[in-house]
Amino acid sequence: MKGGEVMQGVEQMQYVQFGVGEESYGIRIAEVHEIIRMQEITEIPNCQFYVMGVINLRGKIIPVISLRALFSLDEDVYSKATRIVVVHHQEESIGIIVDRVYKVTTFHDIQPPPERVGGINGAYFTGIGLTESELVGILKIDEVLLRD
């Protein structure tokens, strides 16, 4: 995605804001398919460390990944607030486990991402969104999901 596009749509573009660990992150609402409560996860042996397994989403089997694992945070602790954000990625649905989902929000300004964002590779982000009170790392879904 070009930076210009982000800037242009600042006023109207909406983001789902959620938390992982201490930090706050956002995903463009257009990329989010749905948000569901934590489900029973069936583990898949011998696959990438951040793929927690698969879930049954109304008869569809979809993989779920852990942002905590990807961001090298402590192991997941699932609580009542834990949610799975289901996104579309290359014609597949993929679930992203997050600690909590806050709200749908807009940013009055979006800054280009620095090289590292709180110890995490800056390439994962399209920018840093600014609200009145906080900084939100806007995730570049393609980059987050495309690992090899």
Partner 1 sequence: MFDNSEFRQVFLEELEEQIMTMEEEILSLEKQGSHSEGIQRLFRAAHTIKGSSAAMGYMELKQLTHEWEHLLDMLRNEELEMTRELTNLFFQCLDFIKDLQNSIIHEELLPDPSAVIKELGRFSIANTESVAAAKESAGEALPEEAEQLLREYIHSGQTVYTITVKLTEDCMMKLARISIIDISLRAFGEVLWNEPNMKLVQDDQDIHAIRWLIATQEVEPDALEQAVAGLMDVQSVRVEAAMPSQPEAETAAVLELEQENVYMLPGFAGSVAQEEADKTQQSKASVKQQTIRVNVERLENVLDLLGELVIDQTRLKQAIQTLYQAYGYSETMDDLGEISDHLSRLIGSLQENVLKVRMLPIEQLFSRFPRMVRDLAQTLNKSVDLQMVGGDTELDRTLIEEVGDPLIHLIRNAVDHGIEMPKERVRCGKPEQGTVRISAAHEDNQVVVVVEDDGGGIDTNKLRKSAVAKGVITAEEAALLDEHKALRLIFHPGFSTASQLSDVSGRGVGMDIVRTDIERLGGIIDIDTTVGVGTKFTIRLPLTLAITTGLLVKASDQTFILPMSAVVEIIRVDTSTLKMIKGSPVIKIRNQIVPFVWLHEMFGYSRTEGSSDKIPVVMIGRAEQRLAIAVDQLLGNQEVVIKTLGSYVGKVDGISGATILGNGRIALILEIGGIMKKASGIS
- Residues contributing to the site for partner 1 (CB under 8 A): 40, 42-47, 51, 54-56, 59-63, 89-90, 92, 94, 145
Tell me how far CA of residue 126 lies from CA of 20, 47, 49, in angstroms. 17, 27, 24
Q: Look-up: residue for tokens 């909406």? A: 14
Q: Which is nearer to partner 1, 94 or 110 (CB)?
A: 94
Output the smallest distance, CB 105 to partner 1, in A. 28
Output the smallest distance, CB 95 to partner 1, in A. 10
Left, alpha or beta for 67 (phi > 0: left; psi -120 to 50: alpha)?
alpha
Integer Cα distance of 24 and 22 in angstroms? 7
CA angle 146, 92, 96 (to 5 degrees): 60
Output the smallest distance, CB 42 to partner 1, in A. 4
Q: Which is nearer to partner 1, 6 or 145 (CB)?
A: 145
Output the smallest distance, CB 40 to partner 1, in A. 7
The kind and range of the H/E element at 5 are helix 3-8
Q: Which is nearer to partner 1, 6 or 54 (CB)?
A: 54
Q: Which is nearer to partner 1, 89 or 100 (CB)?
A: 89
- The first and second tokens of residue 52, run together, are 């927690």
